[in-house]
Copies of this chain bind each other. A is one copy, B any other.
Amino acid sequence: MTLHSFQPTVYYNTLGTAEPVLTIAPGDSVQTTTVDAHGYDANRAQVAASGNPMTGPFFITGAEPGDTLVVHIDELVPNRSYGWSGLLLAPNVVDPDFVPHLPWPNDGRRHLAAWHVDAAAGTATLVEPAVAGGLVVPLAPMLGCFGVAADVGQAISTATSGTHGGNMDYRGFAPGVTVYFPVFVPGALFYLGDGHAVQGAGEIVGTGIEISCDVRFRVDVQKGRHIRWPRSETATHILTAGNARPLDQALQHATTEMARWLQDEYGLHPTHAQTLLGQVVDYEVGNVFDPAYTMICKLDKRWLPQLSQ
């Protein structure tokens, strides 16, 4: 149950079988930092290549292919005041014939909004461009990209996501949440980064308020628990994440994973599980911007049978 303090010096833009930066045991916690999506740290110095550079990978002893890695996000706090975001809707989230009417910058370059993030006050204030009346949004820090080394020896870009997690950009992956990942390689190789101070559903401007963060997480290993897609748990809900395009397919993955969970682990008869889901299930859109979209399937824990321990 060690608390490791880890300061990254190397960052990765793929989730694959890189050399572990630290070996930790089930039950251990790690206090570390993440840089923003462009590779800038707490001092706004670029220390990593752009494109969701990851802190890690962490090797978790005992984790073997076929197991499940448990990650508790215990703390996630922006560690600087400068955040940035996109400022026009992503072309793929609007009607194709509306695309020319987006507020494209005249100079053809990609512009970004600048935000002042005040972690103590819990707010992000739009600095530039100025808008009439100003704009202040409440902080809700989340991890945009995290997960484990992908399957079959792949190294998958941190731009996208899959069964291994990755760039899911779901705002529910926030402090207090537990996330479960399938383990594909010995040690699982856990990576994390791409903190957002705030993000709307879908990440429809292509970013949240991107920022570097201090983060503390805790891991565990569930031997022999086989899951197919990332799962998650909050105080009130269980959740599954499907990552694919189109959104329909992401929803199919998440729904199937939820049905399997209820049927295979909670022991509900398929008719029971499915009749129940039909009347009480909920969905959340993770992202509809990245190469793979993310759909979350959600069930209130009140509907779960008491599991014998």
Contact = CB atoms under 8 A, between A and B. Distances in A.
B131 A89 contact: no
Interface string A6-20: 000000011010000
B200 A88 contact: no
A22 interface: no
Q: How many copies does the complex hold?
A: 4
A276 B200 CA distance: 9
A293 interface: yes
A159 B245 CA distance: 16
A269 interface: yes
Interface stretch (A26-34, A187-195, A232-240, A247-255): A247-255
Size bracket of the A interface: 35 or more
B94 A255 contact: yes
B245 A247 contact: no
A13 B154 CA distance: 9
Contacts of A97: 91
B249 A245 contact: yes
A133 B303 CA distance: 11
A251 B255 contact: no
B96 A96 contact: yes
A279 B154 contact: no
A281 interface: yes
B131 A204 contact: no
Q: Which 6 A-B pairs have the closest CB atoms?
A: A205-B278, A91-B96, A99-B99, A131-B272, A200-B281, A103-B270
